[in-house]
Each structure stands twice: as structure tokens, then as C-alpha cells.
Amino acid sequence: MKHLLALPLAMMLANTALAEAPVIHAVEATYGDMGWRFDVTLEHPDSGWDHYADGWEITDAAGNQIGYRELMHPHVDEQPFTRSLRNVMLADGVTSVFIRARCSDEGWSNERYEVTLSR
């Protein structure tokens, strides 16, 4: 009986160890004629279509979404990787925003990456 309980517990712990949120390594924010461009470099242990980093968002300090970049496919062999979002319009006087990444299996990360804006 002890062996029957040990196997499900070991499988549960193994799945927990595999669950990792996407990590944002860098963000470059550039202002231009059509608003802001955000280049976000992130890393995630993508394993295929069932588990991959599937997006990132730009939010204000209160957590309101300003922009969203959907990632359309896994990046199993391309880690870390950078993707851009262009033409993001921000209100005058905004001096910082936050980037948060999402995983197809675990959902939104709790970690936010603060970006200080300068023109």
C-alpha cells in the first residue's frame, strides 16, 4: 500500500518541479512617431504545444492592461527569445509601465518587470 501512494506523490512533485513561469530578461522601450515599441526578451522551458510561453502584456501600476503580445507558437529551440509590440499609445506623463509574461499551462506570472520610460 505504501508503494501505491508513493508513486502518485512522486509524479505530483515532478510536475510541480517542471512548472516554471516565463522569466523576462530584458525590455527595451523606444518612442517613435506612432507611439512606443517594446522589445521583450524572455525565457521559458517550452516543451511543445501543450506547454509554452504564449504571451506578454504591458500594464500600468494598477495592473490595467495597456497592450498585449500573443506568442503564436512554442520556442523550444530558441531560448531566450525576443518579440516586439509596436504602436503602443501611452498617456502623457506616464514614466513607467510593467511587463508580465504568460504560460499556456500555468497562466500569468506573478512577477512584473518594471520599465522606466524616457523619450
Residue numbers in the chain where pLDDT is lower than 70: 1-19
Determine the Cα–Cα distance for residues 111 and 119; give it in Å rounded to an integer: 26
pLDDT value at position 20?
Answer: 84
pTM of the model: 0.81
Q: Which residue stretches of 19-99 are H helix?
A: none
The backbone region for 106, taken as left when phi is positive above 0, alpha when psi lies in -120 to 50, beta otherwise, is: alpha
Radius of gyration of the CA atoms of the chain, in A: 18
Q: Which CATH superfamily is domain 21-116 in?
A: C2 domain (2.60.40.150)
pLDDT value at position 19?
Answer: 63
Q: Is the peptide bond before 80 cis (omega within 30 degrees of 0)?
A: yes
Quick one: which of 23, 25, 28, 20 has its CA closest to 41? 25
Domain limits of the chain?
21-116
